[in-house]
Amino acid sequence: MNSHGQNEQRVVWAVVGTDIGPLLLAATSEGLVNVVFHATDAVRDAALERLASRLGTDPVEAPDSPLLTEAIRQVEAYFAGERHDFDLPLDWSLISGFNRQVLRALASGVPYGTVVGYGDLAGRVGQPGGAQAVGMAMGANPLPVVVPCHRVVESDGGIGGFGGGLETKRRLLALEGVLPEPLF
């Protein structure tokens, strides 16, 4: 509690090395709140500034925090090919409305090793014809990898866009056996 008798939000973070580059993981007492691709120093610092602004507190580096240890363990197991599902509490506070609805449907309804079209996912949330809005929701996903926006593809077989870059999307889909491993 702070001096005004209010609970203070605590945000902890760590950077984890993966096959697709460093990922920043951030968590609150509610759960994992943010995953950021390509977490070099500059990207990490910008992401931490955005989190501080959005959540009202400065994130603290704490890789051994109980709020992060299980998330780190599960992310490492996923990239080692030992885990297909994430079983983590998630803090959805960075996203709301339609975007949250779509991401929750994605998290619960598109399992490892499968893909779904943007339009199909729109239909699942009662918005047929909302493929473009689903694409916007994927781009706003604060929890990529854990909430698997890389599994959303174009209906014509195209890979679609990806906030982490198309090569990252290809590598994640290859890890899950949807695409062949890149040759180089």
Asked whether residue 119 falls in the same domain as residue 167, the answer is yes
Task: Supply the angle between the helices 97-109 and 131-139 in degrees, to the nearest 10.
Answer: 90
Catalytic residue ranges: 149
Query: Mind listing the pLDDT tens digit for each residue in 1-58?
Result: 444 444 567 999 999 999 999 999 999 999 999 999 999 999 999 999 999 999 999 9
182 occurs within a structural domain: no
The domain in which residue 115 lies consists of: 97-176
Query: Mind listing the pLDDT tens digit for each residue in 62-94?
Result: 999 998 999 999 999 999 999 999 999 999 999
Asked whether residue 22 falls in the same domain as residue 69, the answer is yes
85 occurs within a structural domain: no
Main-chain dihedrals φ then ψ at residue 61, nearest 5 degrees: -70, 125
Asked whether residue 30 falls in the same domain as residue 75, the answer is yes
The residue out of 33, 51, 80 marking a domain boundary is 80
Among candidate residues 85, 92, 156, the one with its CA nearest the CA of residue 120: 156
d(CA 7, CA 111): 36
- Enter the DSSP assignment of 150: G
181 occurs within a structural domain: no
2 occurs within a structural domain: no
Higher pLDDT, 184 or 142: 142
Residue 163 reports pLDDT greater than 80? yes
41 occurs within a structural domain: yes
Q: Structural domain tally of the chain?
A: 2
Q: What is the pTM of this model?
A: 0.91
**CATH classification at residue 151:** 1.10.10.10
Please say whether the beta carbons of 169 and 162 come within 8 A: yes
